[in-house]
Structure 1
Amino acid sequence: MSEVIEKATLAKETTPLLANLSTLQKNTALKLMADALIEHKDSIIRANEKDLERGRENGTSTSLLDRLRLNSERIDAMAEGLLQIIDLPDPIGDVLEAFDRPNGLHIKKIRVPLGVIGIIYEARPNVTVDAAGLCLKTGNAVVLRGGSSAISSNERIVAVLHEALSKSDLPADALQLIINTDRSSANEMLKLNGLLDVLIPRGGHSLIQNVVKNATVPVIETGAGICHTFIDASADLSMAISIAINAKVQRPSVCNSMETLLIHQAFADQHLDAIVNALTENNVELHGCPETVKRMPSVIPATKEDWDTEYGDYTLNIKIVNELDEALNHIRAHSTMHSECIVTENSAHAEKFLQQVDAAAVYHNASTRFTDGFEFGFGAEIGISTQKLHARGPMGLPALTSTKYRIYGNGQIRG
């Protein structure tokens, strides 16, 4: 029996117990997990340093190393995410509808766990904790398959969480980590119908598309983020610069960072040099449309492929557009339906943008970096869904549930 099947089977066997744990039992387990992360912080950091060292030896980019890095503050944040999940309402058992039929049947629609959730992800070890906390709070077992770049960190984190779970009423086998990081283990999970109830991929475009195109297990598609910010003619210069810098520079390796900046030509006439200089001062490499390069020769000419590239780094495209509709058309052509922003003082333009842009999160005068479960008040998140079925946007606790109808009768039969 393969590692994947063995661990998925162990996870599956815990689901009857998980589905019937009380909120208090689940919250107690989450508190033990949070405390354990703090208690074992030093050993987690040591394990993470092994991953970082391998990454440096393999020439991993600075931005990807930042995704991988754990320090005291980030581990504190992981533990805080678990504590926030404790404070959130438990959706399991919520009655969504209740009604009576003319024949006397009483019908309730309630929230129930999905079952066993498989998560395939790459270089961010914080996902290990976020996924464990959200899945266990919702009565789901979880099978994690992280990338090779974070395997030492993930192994140590899961060992710490298992130790905490052993002191709780929640079975430790509900949390499984696949140690084999060969691509074959991920591909095996794609076909694990009957053991996995849903798959959630988190990572780059190629990983997500491999899962979406090849899985027979149901998939919730997440996260490829080619995010745009459009600076309208009426935008405030100070606000535009602040939002653009934050959206690109604050953490460029994540999926809600900006990859293309669209600028209205009237705004560019007055302020393009200020925008370009501010970005350049923040070490951003700029690729531009012909009009941008004509006005600012220091900008690298953008290729056709650049507009469809998720850089995840200090690289940004700039395009000058003649009007709002041109910006909307560009976004329609190149967006991954993740997060899009307009910076404008024109309320009619803002409303048109918010209505017409098809994305999970659409912003007026705020950075796309806010598309995040923590920032939305969901505690941690399992991912950002960019599809339209089941869940969309940052996925907190309710997104990890399904529904069940309970029907109460007194002997009714159908004629």
Structure 2
Amino acid sequence: MTMLSPYDSMSPVHQAAYRAKGAAATLAPLPRAAKDDALLAIADALEVRASEIVEANAQDVAKAREAGTSDGMVDRLTLTPERVRAIASDVRDVAALPDPVGEVVRGSTLPNGIDLRQVRVPLGVVGIIYEGRPNVTVDAAALCLKSGNAVLLRGSSSAYRSNTALVRVLRDAVHGAGLPADAVQLVPGESRDSVRELMRARGLVDVLIPRGGASLINTVVQESVVPVIETGTGNCHVYVDAQADLDTAVEILVNSKAQRVGVCNAAETLLVHQDIAAEFLPRALDALADAGVTVHADERVMAHAKESRATVVEATAEDWETEYLSYDIAAAVVDSLDKAVEHIRLWTSGHTEAIVTTSQAAARRFTQLVDSTTVAVNASTRFTDGGQFGFGAEIGISTQKLHARGPMGLPELTSTKYIVTGDGHVRR
């Protein structure tokens, strides 16, 4: 009688996770050179096969436009030859970063002579569930490989052709470099059933990281039996203080909102101190108008909009909690810095908040009181990004407080273990 292995009775998703677990065991002890060679092979392959990737992506983009997808979301989906080259460059940047695996976090010789070290080790199998941004496919694969993890990629159906082409290129490059191709896998299936299967692969998948809108993230957090690192939506605020430099404030505001609207670190709410509102808002509204931004304004902002070129609509309660990902921004006048903080605490998603001020005291109080992953002083919210922080790339922006917070680079994709070395020591 032929004995069936557990693999034979698994669903296709769990079979992929099982293969990933084997690949993770192979990756874990590899030296940095082996992983870097694979990453460089990926970067080269992306450039050589860019036309194949862009052609597949064009089908996804056309489908998205036919479905009436917003311009901001289409921009997030779109790959061009230039963007593919930029993604390849990001992979080379990851290869150049220090390998976190094996790093000694802390160590000492105990009084009894035992040598104790806490060292970084890979998480194992990392599942990524994400929406509409095919660059995440490569970023996630590169970061997971560098940190010794196998990765299961479950992108949205809107980017299915793009992701299929990308993963085909990645797997070929990884295999060609002598590493197991199953270190990078696209989760089988396009239906929500495959997502549910992934969320129930406890024991096969070590951690899930959702990237996308609030609905996706909440679903994964609430329904997954696999441990989850929660990445949050980006309801980011720009607060212009009473002592702000107006030119600086306008430039930071427009950059935060309009430099690229379909991303989680774009500003979605403007708060203006009442003492500077009359002087600042007419300039700010015109600048937003020039950038094509519609302003969802409270009554006090409305009062300053009469002479501006801006498209202004009355704000509703929903506007204060909305991550637009479009050329829209909510705006309000506040009585004080503390009132700005109060507003942020009520509505923020905990991602990034910025203050524009020339007052060191105001900057210090704002950074002390605001509890988000990133607080920017006289800088755009758009800097909350793994690449901008020098991490090479990021797996996501974690808005929770356990394990990781903020842009998640290589160290955040590791756990630790203790190595206890004795010389015949026994406990008395």
Which TM-score band applies after superposition, normalised by the shorter structure?
over 0.9
Q: Distance in 2 between matches of 1:196 and 1:364?
A: 39
Distance 1:29 1:278 in 2: 46
Q: Which runs of at least 4 in structure 1 moved beyond 4 Å after TM superposition?
A: none
Whether contact under 8 Å (1:116, 1:198) holds in the other structure is yes
Residue 280 (structure 1) aligned with residue 289 (structure 2): yes
State the Cα RMSD in Å.
1.0
Contact 1:202–1:383 under 8 Å retained in 2: yes
- 2:412 aligned partner: 399
> 196, 200, 206: which one pairs with 1:187?
196
What whole-Å deviation, never above 9, does each CA across 1:11-33 have from its counterpart, x for those lacking one? 01112211011100000000000
Q: CA-to-partner distance for each residue in 1:60-103, whole Å, 9 max, x for gaps? A: 11110000000011111110111001110001001111212222
**Pair 1:311 & 2:329 matched:** no
Q: CA deviation at 1:8?
A: 0.7
Q: Aligned partners of 2:178, 2:353: CA distance in 1, in Å?
A: 43
Is 1:116 the counterpart of 2:116? The answer is no
Which whole-Å CA distance do the structure 1 matches of 2:40 and 2:195 have between them? 30
Question: 2:280 & 2:112 partners in 1: Cα distance?
Answer: 70
Partners of 1:242 and 1:66 lie apart in 2 by: 23
Cα distance in structure 2, aligned partners of 1:294 and 1:242: 22
Q: 1:334 aligns with which of 347, 356, 368?
A: 347
Name the SS of the counterpart of 1:376 in structure 2.
coil
CA contact (8 A) 1:224 1:338 kept: yes
Helix, strand or coil at the partner of 1:234: coil
The structure 2 residue matched to 1:325, chosen from 338, 344, 349, is 338
Match of 1:62 in 2: 71
Alignment of 1:162-311 (within 5 A): 162-297=171-306, 299-311=312-324
Structure 2: how far apart are the matches of 1:123 and 1:116? 22
Alpha carbons 2:238, 2:253 under 8 Å: kept: yes
**2: CA distance, partners of 1:273 / 1:107:** 62
Per the alignment, residue 372 of structure 1 pairs with: 385
Look up the equivalent residue of 2:28 and give its one-letter code.
A
Q: CA deviation at 1:121?
A: 0.1
Cross-structure match for 2:3: none
> In structure 1, how many angstroms separate the alpha carbons of the residues matched to 2:65 and 2:421?
61
Rounded to whole Å, the distance in 2 between the matches of 1:185 and 1:260 is: 36
Alignment match of 1:351 (pick from 345, 364, 367): 364
CA displacement at 1:271 relative to structure 2: 2.1
Counterpart-to-counterpart distance in 1, 2:335 and 2:132:
39
Q: Give the superposition deviation at 1:295.
A: 3.0
Contact between 2:94 and 2:142, CA under 8 Å: does it hold in 1? yes
TM (norm. structure 2) is: 0.96
CA–CA distance in 1 between the matches of 2:267 and 2:196? 31
Q: Are 2:96 and 1:87 equivalent residues in the alignment?
A: yes
> What is the CA–CA distance in structure 2 between the aligned matches of 1:395 and 1:402, rounded to whole Å?
13
TM-score (norm 1): 0.98
Q: 2:101 touches 2:414 (CA, 8 Å); kept in 1? A: yes
AA partner of residue 347 (structure 1) = Q
Q: 1:362 aligns with which of 357, 375, 381?
A: 375
Q: CA deviation at 1:188?
A: 1.6
Residue type at the aligned position of 2:409: G
Q: 1:146-157 counterparts in 2 under 5 A?
A: 146-157=155-166
Q: Distance in 1 between matches of 2:375 and 2:12?
A: 41
Give the partner amino acid of 1:68: L
Q: 1:84, 1:308 → 2: CA distance?
A: 35
SS at match of 1:166: helix
Distance in 2, Cα, partners of 1:141 & 1:118 = 9
- C-alpha separation in 2, matches of 1:217 and 1:258: 32
Q: How far is the alpha carbon of 1:135 from its aligned partner?
A: 0.2
1:299 is displaced (CA, Å) by: 2.1
CA distance in 1, matches of 2:283, 2:384: 27
Task: Supply the AA of the counterpart residue of 1:25.
Answer: A
Contact (CA 8 Å) 1:338, 1:386: kept in 2 or not?
yes
Does the residue aligned with 2:172 lie in a helix, a strand or coil? helix
Q: Which amino acid aligns with 2:297?
A: G
Q: CA deviation at 1:179?
A: 3.8
